[in-house]
């Protein structure tokens, strides 16, 4: 089947992935492969803008790649690689920076937010983050970038930067990427309050054992108004129920929806059911992860092969770019 176009997406190396990463990105990455030629990049250079130490960078990259592969990213079809393995991205970043007004970068809400989060480390790389992101997309001539609606300003920035470059050098060599608006569900952590995140320690790791998973699920906050077993609950405000809707069979979801409201089912039982369904859902993932992880070199082989294929595209783009800029 011929594919609709080329998709690019990058993610920071955050180590073992959790349910939020799975539902918010990985699941979509896997599905996109059926229709698009996919380029998936682990953006280690981007991570350098904010990390305090690089000691876990290699391991985090490995763990994330392993999770991607176990979840169904198909490296024989998709290009999966590490950003820094394709040095051309830094050259394109530099050339794009020459057509990017500084004020435009410092005005971006994401930059201001990063400054708030890291007031003692506002480095040059942090300011240029969106330019590097544009270079990532443009280098591989991706025409679609799957992002949530909150990322729209970044894609608009990338489009403008590509336009500026093409205008300045009177060329069409770089492609303006289109935003592929993707519905990214907000996955709450086990606290039922904040977005699932490793740094908040409210996450459920995909690679956790069934026992660890069940333990985390049993800690999940439910309808806060339901104090006693005999109190009727409200599934509409309960994070456990939101998860049931994703991972449990329809008839079970329908039963809980009724029984919770009349105190026919208790939260402990409800969570046990969810843990069982989640563990069942994750079984094939865990089996595949164990199989691939038994040979760690195979993960690095995938990343090296991906980098080789990515470099081939990058080299061609940069040849055209250098010619367009008229570098001697
Ligand atoms: S019974 Fe289930 S859906 Fe209802 S409040 Fe408890 S955990 Fe939530």
pLDDT, tens digit (0-9, with 9 covering 90-100), for 55-74: 999 999 999 999 999 999 99
Tokens of 116: 């708030």
Cβ atoms within 10 Å, residue 240: 23
CB 217 within 8 A of CB 225: no
List Cα–Cα distances, 284 to 271, 288, 293, in angstroms: 21, 6, 14
Calculate the average pLDDT of the chain: 95
Ligand 1 near 220 CB (within 6 A)? no
pLDDT of 52 > 90? The answer is no
Query: Which of 227, 270, 273 for a ligand 1 pocket mutation test, highest count of atoms within 8 Å of Cβ?
Result: 270
Distance between CA atoms of residues 31 and 283, nearest Å = 19
Distance between CA atoms of residues 16 and 283, nearest Å = 16
Q: How many angstroms is it from 271 CA to the middle of ligand 1?
A: 8
Q: Has this prediction a pTM greater than 0.85?
A: yes
Residue nearest to atom 6 of ligand 1 (CA): 267
CB neighbour list of residue 255: distance below 8 Å, 6 or more residues apart: 265
Ligand 1 near 282 CB (within 6 A)? no
pLDDT tens-digit series, residues 119-176: 888 889 999 999 999 999 999 999 999 988 888 888 999 999 999 999 999 999 999 9
Distance between CA atoms of residues 55 and 72, nearest Å = 28
Q: How many angstroms is it from 191 CA to the middle of ligand 1?
A: 14
Among 11, 27, 24, which Cα is nearest to 64's?
Answer: 11
DSSP secondary structure code for residue 282 in this structure: H
Cβ atoms within 10 Å, residue 62: 19
Residue nearest to atom 4 of ligand 1 (CA): 260
Task: Estimate the share of the chain in helix, then strand, then coil, as percent rounded to the nearest 5.
Answer: 55, 10, 35
What number is the average pLDDT over the span 23-40? 95
Among 17, 6, 13, which Cα is nearest to 146's?
Answer: 6
Ligand 1 near 270 CB (within 6 A)? yes
CB 87 within 8 A of CB 102: no
The strand pairing partners of 188, in sequence order, are: 195
pLDDT of 189 > 90? The answer is yes
């Amino acid at each position: 089947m011929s594919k609709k176009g080329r998709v690019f997406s990058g993610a920071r190396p955050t180590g073992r992935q959790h349910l939020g990463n799975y539902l918010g990105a990985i699941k979509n990455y896997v599905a996109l492969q059926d229709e698009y030629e996919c380029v998936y990049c682990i953006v280690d250079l981007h991570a350098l803008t904010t990390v305090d130490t690089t000691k876990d960078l290699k391991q985090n990259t490995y763990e994330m790649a392993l999770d991607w592969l176990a979840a169904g990213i198909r490296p024989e079809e998709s290009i999966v690689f590490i950003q820094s393995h394709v040095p051309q991205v830094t050259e394109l970043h530099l050339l794009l920076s020459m057509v990017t007004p500084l004020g435009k970068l410092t005005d971006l809400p994401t930059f201001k937010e990063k400054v708030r989060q890291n007031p003692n480390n506002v480095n040059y790389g942090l300011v240029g983050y969106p330019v590097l992101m544009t270079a990532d997309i443009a280098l591989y001539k991706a025409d679609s970038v799957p992002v949530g609606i909150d990322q729209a300003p970044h894609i608009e920035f990338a489009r403008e930067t590509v336009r500026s470059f093409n205008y300045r050098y009177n060329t069409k060599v770089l492609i303006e990427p289109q935003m592929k608006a993707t519905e990214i569900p907000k996955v709450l952590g086990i606290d039922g309050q904040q977005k699932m995140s490793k740094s908040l320690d409210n996450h459920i790791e995909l690679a956790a054992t069934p026992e660890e998973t069940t333990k985390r699920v049993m800690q999940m906050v439910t309808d806060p108004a339901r104090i006693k077993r005999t109190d009727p609950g409200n599934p509409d405000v309960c994070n456990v129920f939101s998860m049931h809707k994703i991972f449990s069979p329809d008839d079970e979801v329908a039963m809980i929806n009724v029984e919770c409201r009349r105190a026919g089912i208790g939260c402990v039982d409800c969570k046990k059911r969810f843990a069982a369904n989640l563990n069942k859902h994750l079984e094939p993932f865990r089996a595949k992860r164990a199989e691939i992880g038994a040979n760690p070199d195979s993960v690095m082989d995938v990343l090296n092969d991906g980098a080789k294929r990515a470099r081939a595209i990058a080299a061609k783009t940069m040849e055209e770019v250098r010619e367009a800029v008229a570098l001697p």
